[in-house]
Chains A and B, each alone.
Chain A
Amino acid sequence: MNKTVNQKAWFFVIPVFVLVAFNAIIPLMTVVNYAFQETFGNNVFMWEGTRWFKQIMLSERFHASLGRQFLFTFIILFIQIPLGIAIALTMPKEGIGVPVCLVLMSMPLLIPWNVVGAMWNIFALPDIGFLGHSLNALGFDYNFTQQIGDAWFTTILMDVWHWTSLVVLLSYAGLRSIQPAYYQAAEIDGASRWAVFTKIELPKMKKVLTIAILLRFMDSFMIYTEPFVLTGGGPGNATAFLSIDLVKMALGQFDLGPAAAMSLIYFFIVLLVCWVFYTLMMRNEEKS
């Protein structure tokens, strides 16, 4: 068969190209622009090559905030994913309980980030906050504004409260999509509850859990507003995660070059981790 060649079809791509250029490529390119140059204002730029990248890669401050970031993300994934699945498993499958649970579960997701931060800040204040005051009354020496452990504990608790629901809702959707025949087949085989979970429910939830982990990874790795309002990155730099550190560098110290280089490195880390994770999870799914 002879295919006709008509390159004019490319014109159809132009609107999309223009749109993407304005909302993604151009802003990103300004960051790239800063990352390779030095500026003293007045639109005067000097070429610096890879100097800022080298500086950031060798900076102990960057290593420290990157380390904190990975630790934080790892901890919240470790808590939220199993907890989310566990809650989804115990949720009702029919009746009035279903909408009630779904609405209750969605509530934390609907609260704006800075409100969550402010809420938890007040909630956890050692003198007047319900949580802080209660813990101190029970004999714990709790003060999240001064003690590193307490600051981490509060930040993690806040994130678990805010985001576990997302994992619950996704897992619940995954569980509901399993046909009842699977459970019957397992019942006929005499499979235990644990076997049903590991041999049917988990494999069937694989795709939806992959999405849950990816979303939670991206969101928590880029977390800014809630810890900024809750702890402001403190005490000291104890909860200064990557975004908080980046804003300090860019807007606090006005080190635009290094901050731009850091943004790009940050961006590539997120991209790389997501890509590797997704590829690994979906390795065997394409064949079917």
Chain B
Amino acid sequence: MSLELKNVEKKVGLDTHIYRTNLKLQKNTINILLGSTLAGKTTLMQIMAGLDKPTSGEIWFNNENVTGMKVQKRNVSMVYQQFINYPNFTVYDNIASPLKITGVSSDETKLRVGKVAELLKLSGMLNKKPNELSGGQQQRTALARALVKDSDLILLDEPLANLDFKLREELREELPKLFENRDCIVVYATTEPSEALLLGGNTATLQEGKIIQYGKTLDTYNKPNSLVSAQVFSDPPMNIAKIKKSGDQCSFLQNNIQWKTKINIKDGEYKVGIRPHNITTYKEGNNTLEIKGKVLISEISGSESLIHFTNGNLNWVSLSNGVFQKNVGDEMNLYMNTDEFVYFDQNERLVSNG
């Protein structure tokens, strides 16, 4: 089983929504489309599902050309950001609705709905209407509807985006389990890098209608092929600075901080990407490089603390473990892990990752 996009392109009027795309998704995989709003995630999913036709190019499923085939014949299911359920149906009828239309017997329907309801912790509320449920339960119902019919392709379009923090965390942890041992291809769109890392599988980074990189999620994270891909896969945004390399010495162009490097690239000017969690307020290991900073903003996010600071004429973001606050305007020392630096050439292509 595989889903393949061949030279798919989507234009609306003069705007190109999806630039020429080739992508092959294998069975039993979770594939994450990672990108900001308007990157083209939803359009790409609708093309995959058959809800929207590409302007040019073909979609192949199991070695069969399914371009233009109606979505009803494709055995796909989709979960949306909004909680889409039939408003007048009970939870049970909502979950059973995809089965009714395909003519599954009532005994089997009962069995399958019961099973999937149990998996999604909806067993106690099968007789309720969607508007009597919390947002989290409504989305669980929508997820159950998508899972009950054993689709070949399950598309999830930012399913957690409309949930509040607690419910999102809760459901996010259950998601990988839901797709285990399913004979299908899962496509999951999200704007959050942390969600991609949690789900694993494969990740495609998207920006402005282009797939920048596709590969195993960890590989895409650790070896971004370009600065753009690294930016998409970094939250808070990656710090970028220009550097000069000569021999085994590297230095930032804007200050004179130097460090030794073992990377094997030609001497010259490069850009370096530093993820915020590789700049901390404490020394870590023995590869720590000191940088002086003036605090701009200090904020706490969960059990981590973000410090925005300036050095030279650049703004930097650091992410440290622990909850603490610094006064705005304070001068302080921060420490960078040079092993985790990612080097890009002048065209912003990857040259070395540490």
Contact = CB atoms under 8 A, between A and B. Distances in A.
Contacts of B88: 199, 203
B87 A185 contact: no
Contacts of B101: 189-191
A204 B88 CA distance: 9
Interface bracket on B:
20 to 34
Interface in B282-321: none
A206 to B, nearest CB: 8
Interface string B67-94: 0000110001110111010111100000
B51 A200 contact: no
Interface string B249-277: 00000000000000000000000000000
A182 B82 CA distance: 9
Contacts of B89: 199
B78 A189 contact: no
A200 B86 contact: yes
Nearest to B79: A185
A50 interface: no
Nearest to A184: B51
A119 B118 CA distance: 66
Contacts of A188: 49, 51, 71-72, 76-78, 98
B141 to A, nearest CB: 12
Contact of B97 (A189, A204, A285): A189
Interface string B187-228: 000000000000000000000000000000000000000000
Given A187-B72, A203-B87, A181 B129 contact: no
B129 A284 contact: yes
B132 A187 contact: no
B333 interface: no
Interface in B82-118: 82, 84, 86-89, 97-98, 101-102
B139 to A, nearest CB: 12
Contacts of A90: none
B51 A187 contact: yes
A203 B84 CA distance: 13
B346 interface: no
A189 B98 contact: yes
Contact of A179 (B77, B78, B84): B84
Interface bracket on A:
10 to 19
B246 interface: no
Contacts, number: 48
A288 interface: yes
A288 B51 contact: no
A8 interface: no
Contacts of A189: 72, 97-98, 101
Interface in B32-50: 46, 49
B56 interface: no
Nearest to B97: A189
Interface in A173-197: 179, 181-182, 184-185, 187-191
Contacts of B77: 188
Contacts of A184: 46, 51, 78, 80
B131 interface: yes
B51 A181 contact: no
Nearest to A287: B132
A59 B81 CA distance: 61
Contacts of B81: 181
Given A188-B76, A189-B97, A181 B71 contact: no
Contacts of B97: 189
A287 B131 contact: yes
B71 A288 contact: no
Interface in A192-237: 199-200, 203-204
A118 B131 CA distance: 48
Contacts of A200: 86-87
A182 B84 contact: yes
Nearest to A285: B131
A187 B84 CA distance: 13
Nearest to A191: B101
Contacts of B49: 188
Contacts of A190: 72, 101-102
Given A187-B51, A190-B102, A203-B87, 15 more contacts: A181-B80, A181-B81, A181-B82, A184-B46, A184-B78, A188-B49, A188-B72, A188-B76, A188-B78, A188-B98, A190-B101, A199-B86, A199-B88, A203-B88, A284-B129
5 contacts: A181-B80, A185-B80, A190-B102, A199-B89, A200-B86
4 shortest interchain CB distances as A-B pairs: A288-B131, A190-B72, A203-B87, A181-B80
Interface of A: 179, 181-182, 184-185, 187-191, 199-200, 203-204, 284-285, 287-288
